[in-house]
Amino acid sequence: MLISLNPRAVPLVVIGCLLLGGCLSARPWYEKELKAWEGAPVSELENSWGPPRRTIIGKSGRPVMVYESTLIRDERQEVKRDPNQLISDRPPSARPQVDELDCSMYFEVDNDVVVAVRYEGAGCTVIPRPGKSPGS
């Protein structure tokens, strides 16, 4: 069965595909860095990351080491201006110019080896695994 499109509809189809592709974009770079820790001994993880913020028991009954990070994104710009010059007569925007992005990273452990990793949040600060991370 052959489907024909109106030539005027083609640009709309292309734009729709591009928008959908943007929603299905690749995972954050740090996801691969985190996955590199699977299979690592707990001692290697602690040597690189330090002690976890806390350790909890996961759904599987295994311990989960929890690390947290906060990334502060400052979008303000400092501009030197003449103090007598009127910058704007509009009120400042209600959108905060400084954002805090919180991330929790979970390392599930079995027999002193990391068996699974996951994260929640954004702006994760990941310490690459020496010799095993995608970037090394």
Q: Which of the two residues, 134 and 8, has the higher pLDDT score? A: 134
> Range of 48's domain?
40-74+98-127
- In the structure encoding, which two tokens stand for residue 24, read together? 């299905």
Whether residue 49 lies inside any domain: the answer is yes
Average pLDDT over residues 85-91: 61
> What is the rounded CA–CA span in Å between residue 115 and residue 40?
8
Whether residue 53 lies inside any domain: the answer is yes
Q: What's the number of domains the chain is made of?
A: 1
Whether residue 114 lies inside any domain: the answer is yes
Choose the weakest-confidence range: 13-22, 29-38, 107-116, 119-128: 13-22
Instruction: Find the angle CA(70)-CA(74)-CA(79) to the nearest 5 degrees.
Output: 165
Whether residue 16 lies inside any domain: the answer is no
Q: Which of the two residues, 135 and 63, has the higher pLDDT score? A: 63
Full DSSP string of 61-108? SSEEEEEEEEEEEE--------TTS---SSPPPSS-SEEEEEEEEEEE
Whether residue 134 lies inside any domain: the answer is no
